[in-house]
Amino acid sequence: MATVALDRAAAKLVVEATTDHAVIRRFLERDRIYAAYALADLEDRVAGRARWGIARAGNEVVALVLEYGGPAPQPLFIAGRDDGIGEILRDVIKPSIAYLSYLPPTEAAVASRYRIEPGPPMVRMWVDRSTFRPAEDPGVETLSPSDAGELNRLYRLGFGSWLAPQSIAEGIYYGIRVNGRLVAAAGTHVIGRSARIAVVGNVLTQPEFRGRGYAQATTAAVTARLLEFCDHVVLNVRSDNPPALNAYRKLGYVEHVRFEERLGHRIGSLWADLAGALRRFARSRERNDR
């Protein structure tokens, strides 16, 4: 395994790619709520899609970066010490464009390698069996792979982001119908059965049916099912969405941490330079059209 050794005042820092799941899991379990997605990505059926980079100071892993495989841009999970993060992003994990997930104190290290687009902070919330409070049931029903077409119409997903029936089969989805039409749904982003943790996502209600508690009810149904075999269930919500934050609090979810989830373009890459030029051109056109 190729490594890059860097002298540090306190200890020698070594960065490397790794497939040692035991080492990765020990690091992630230090903050399993923040690392929920990454823990789920250690599952055997999806582990081959991920690339992992770590930084060691002596025998201690001090930083980790996960790159999830697939068409760009893909998520990049970032955690740990600034110097380790910076060197992993320099030498081991270095996509041209990615959705960067990182804690605010590490932004300088991330920004040294990526031009980060603006956006509101995200809130990571969590619940367990002791704190979960079910919602009133307005007629929630289990969704199956045969409901994929209806779900995609609800989510208004294009061809490139189509929710496949297999994703529904592998996850947990609940919905609400009004006059036979699917108007609200919630599901799962990832499930880490071995880590006993899961992430709720894909929560959406048609605009004309909002304010009736449908999102809360479908989220509650998914959460209750997950808590049958998970110790923790987490979800993300934008910090500028107070109604959603309050709805999840009523279910027993509590805030764990605020983090950044931004699109990043690698500094000095052809793709990043082209994307920046296109953005500047678009802004120029907007100014000229005013």
Q: Write down the pTM of the prediction.
A: 0.86
Q: Which residue, 91, 109, 101, is CA-closest to 54?
A: 91
Whether the CB-CB separation of 203 and 219 falls below 8 Å is answered with yes
Q: Number of structural domains, the chain? A: 2
Share of the chain above pLDDT 90, in %: 80
Residues 219 and 281 in one domain: no
From CA 87, how far away is CA 206, in angstroms rounded? 44
Residues 110 and 156 in one domain: no
pLDDT at residue 6 greater than cutoff 80 = no
Residues 75 and 137 in one domain: no
Its domain, for residue 103, covers 3-124+260-289
With a CB cutoff of 8 Å and minimum separation 6, the contacts of 141 are: 174, 175, 176, 177
DSSP 8-class letter at 176 = E
What would the mean pLDDT of 41-55 be, rounded to a whole number? 85
165: left (phi over 0), alpha (psi -120 to 50) or beta: alpha
Residues 9 and 117 in one domain: yes
Give me the CATH number covering residue 244: 3.40.630.30
What would the mean pLDDT of 21-49 be, rounded to a whole number? 91
Weakest-pLDDT range from 11-15, 30-34, 97-101, 200-204:
11-15
Give me the CATH number covering residue 82: 3.40.630
From CA 60, how far away is CA 64, in angstroms rounded? 12
Residues 177 and 153 in one domain: yes
pLDDT (0 to 100) of residue 46:
66
User: Higher-confidence residue: 268 or 66?
Assistant: 66
pLDDT (0 to 100) of residue 57:
96
Residues 85 and 106 in one domain: yes
What would the mean pLDDT of 112-128 be, rounded to a whole number? 97
Residues 97 and 157 in one domain: no
Which tens digit of pLDDT belongs to each residue from 224-250?
Answer: 999 999 999 999 999 999 999 999 999
Residues 213 and 271 in one domain: no
Share of the chain above pLDDT 70, in %: 86
Q: Which residue, 23, 7, 8, 2, is CA-closest to 92?
A: 2
Residues 15 and 107 in one domain: yes
Residues 42 and 73 in one domain: yes
Residues 70 and 157 in one domain: no
Identify which of 43-47, 105-109, 266-270 has the greatest average pLDDT: 105-109
What DSSP element (H or E) covers 82?
A: helix 82-91
Residues 66 and 119 in one domain: yes
Q: How far is CA 138 from CA 80, 133, 217, 225, in A?
A: 43, 16, 7, 17
List the helix and strand counts (H, then E) for the chain.
Answer: 10, 14
Which tens digit of pLDDT belongs to each residue from 75-113?
Answer: 999 999 999 999 999 999 999 999 999 999 999 999 999
